[in-house]
Amino acid sequence: MMKTNYYTEIPDHVPPELVRDYPLSLRGVIYENPYETIIPKIHEGPPVFMAPTGYLSIAPGWVFRRAEDIKQVFFDTEHFIKKGNTNFAAMLGEDWDAIPTELDPPRHTAVRRALNPLFLPARMARLDDMVRQRAQEYIGAFRSRGHCDFVAEFAIPYPVSIFLDLLGLPQDRMKQFLEWETSILHAVGVPERAAGVRAVKAYLLEAIDERRKRPTDDLISTALTLVVDGELLSPIEVFGHCFNLYIGGLDTVSANLGLHFRHLAENVEQQNQLRRDPSLIRPAMNELLRAYAAVSNARICAKEIEIAGVTLKPGDKVLLPTPLAARDPEEYDEPNAIRFDRGGQNITFGYGIHRCLGIHLAQREIQTALEQMLSSLPEFRIEPGARIPFRTGSILQLNELPIVWG
């Protein structure tokens, strides 16, 4: 094994020239826009490299930068597995799965078949009035003020409040839920992350027990009735699914909203273009999702395979950063240009069988936020002199976004 300056071990089969730092994998805060600086620089290097802390900030992992290769790994469930890749259960010395995130076929196939109808576009369309009203409520709280911290006052509470309603969790506990989520997904030390997992597990088990006694129409109650392969989910599977919903619902849409509105605050011509022609909002959202993909996914190699001239062996950890795929010059013409008429698909929400279960809800929330903000506020910009902090790690997001208007 070759030692690195991170005091981790690089597998012997990794060529030394392919060992490189990947700064976006480390949990921390930076004051530069990584989409403009760090990511284009990475695309000048090899298509795949080994980063000493590339896997969940805690272990060496292969980092793929090209969209083509990332799609291949996403789609390949024979050579790459999801089991255990979040490390949540392992932090507690336990063995359970975040469901369906950590399941592999054939169990994953059966579980997704049961879950997919709950998140179909038609079912999510029933939430339109509630989503719109919630957006208007948060905007109404700061519209006349002339300024706000968009992240703290909208990007976080707006989607999180909707998701808490869907899970039947109390809105007045939002601050506590977000503190636990921050510990789990953004803390540097394993003890702090484990404490967050332990707290969420205890809370969800209590909520599940309450729904078992007094079921309602929320997603936790629904999980207790799901039949897979002729049997109800086991108690630990119900918890694993609820844990996955909790983690997935508290971060990704907030991250996307912050990134999208930073772009619009810095590019007022495009902002006003959407005001003049609201029919462009949907394609604009798709392009912003493409350009500002935020999530890095992980896999574990199960069978030896060669990709992009590199041999991966069983046990190798793999990182699939959608922020790199989003700006891949081999996949997109002028990848750093934001063009609302670009069209095409992106892999912001994943690819293949593990594509995000909540994609249709997420898209509705983002589109509604664009519609309501642009129709409610005049031209807005970033507050003069403000330095915008980017939080790095498995999800790229803004810590704050002070904007002003009027």
Percent over 90 (pLDDT), the chain: 83
Whether 3 has a pLDDT exceeding 80, the answer reads: no
Which amino acid is residue 226, in one-letter code?
L
Of 242, 342, 253, 254, nearest to 291 by C-alpha is 342
Residue-wise pLDDT tens digits, 79-125? 999 998 888 998 899 999 999 999 999 999 999 999 999 999 999 99
So what's the pLDDT on residue 8?
A: 58
Residue 244: CB atoms within 10 Å: 20
Average pLDDT rounded to a whole number, residues 191-209: 93
**Terminal-residue alpha carbon distance, the chain:** 60
So what's the pLDDT on residue 343?
A: 85
Please tell me the distance from the alpha carbon of residue 229 to that of residue 289, in angstroms, as a whole number.
Answer: 35
Please tell me the distance from the alpha carbon of residue 198 to that of residue 178, in angstroms, as a whole number.
Answer: 14
Per-residue confidence band for 6, with pLDDT thresholds at 50, 70 and 90? very low
Residue 106: CB atoms within 10 Å: 10
Quick check: bond before 47 cis, omega within 30?
no
Q: Range of 329's domain? A: 2-405
Residue-wise pLDDT tens digits, 290-303? 999 999 999 999 99
Give the strands of the sheet with 402-405, arranged side by side. 147-149, 402-405, 380-382
Whether 2 has a pLDDT exceeding 50, the answer reads: no
Compute the mean pLDDT over every residue in the chain, rounded to the nearest whole number. Answer: 93
Q: What is the largest CA-CA distance in the chain?
A: 61
Side-chain half-sphere CA neighbours of 396 within 13 A: 27
Per-residue confidence band for 5, with pLDDT thresholds at 50, 70 and 90? very low
Three-state secondary structure readout of the chain: CEECCCCCEECCCCCHHHECCCHHHCCEEECCCCCCCHHHHHCCCCCEEEEEEEECCCEEEEEECCHHHHHHHHHCCCCEECCCCCCHHHHCCCCCCCCCCCCCCCHHHHHHHHHHHHHCHHHHHCCHHHHHHHHHHHHHCCHHHCEEEHHHHHHCHHHHHHHHHHHCCCHHHHHHHHHHHHHHHHCCCHHHHHHHHHHHHHHHHHHHHHHHHCCCCCHHHHHCCCEECCEECCHHHHHHHHHHHHHHHCCHHHHHHHHHHHHHHHCHHHHHHHHHCHHHHHHHHHHHHHHCCCEEEEEEECCCEEECCEEECCCCEEEEEHHHHHCCCCCCCCCCCCCCCCCCCCCCCCCHHHCCCCHHHHHHHHHHHHHHHHHHCCCEEECCCCCCCEEECCECEECCCEEEEC
Which amino acid is residue 382, in one-letter code?
I
So what's the pLDDT on residue 169?
A: 92
Per-residue b/e over 290-310, b at no fewer than 16 CB within 10 Å? Answer: bbbbbbbbbbbbbeebebbeb
So what's the pLDDT on residue 271?
A: 98
Quick one: tokens of 195? 């404490």
Q: How far is CA 308 from CA 62, 63, 180, 354, in A?
A: 12, 12, 39, 23
Among 186-190, 250-254, 303-307, the least confident range:
186-190
Strand 59-64 relative to strand 317-321, pairing = parallel
Average pLDDT rounded to a whole number, residues 206-212: 96
Which amino acid is residue 270, in one-letter code?
Q
Q: How many domains does the chain have?
A: 1
Average pLDDT rounded to a whole number, residues 41-68: 93
Q: What CATH number is associated with residue 199?
A: 1.10.630.10
Name all contacts of 48-51 with Cβ < 8 Å and 24+ positions apart.
48/18, 48/307, 48/308, 48/310, 49/18, 49/19, 49/20, 49/22, 50/10, 50/11, 50/14, 50/18, 50/19, 50/20, 51/19, 51/20, 51/21, 51/22, 51/25, 51/319
Strand 296-301 relative to strand 402-405, pairing = unpaired
Whether 250 has a pLDDT exceeding 50, the answer reads: yes
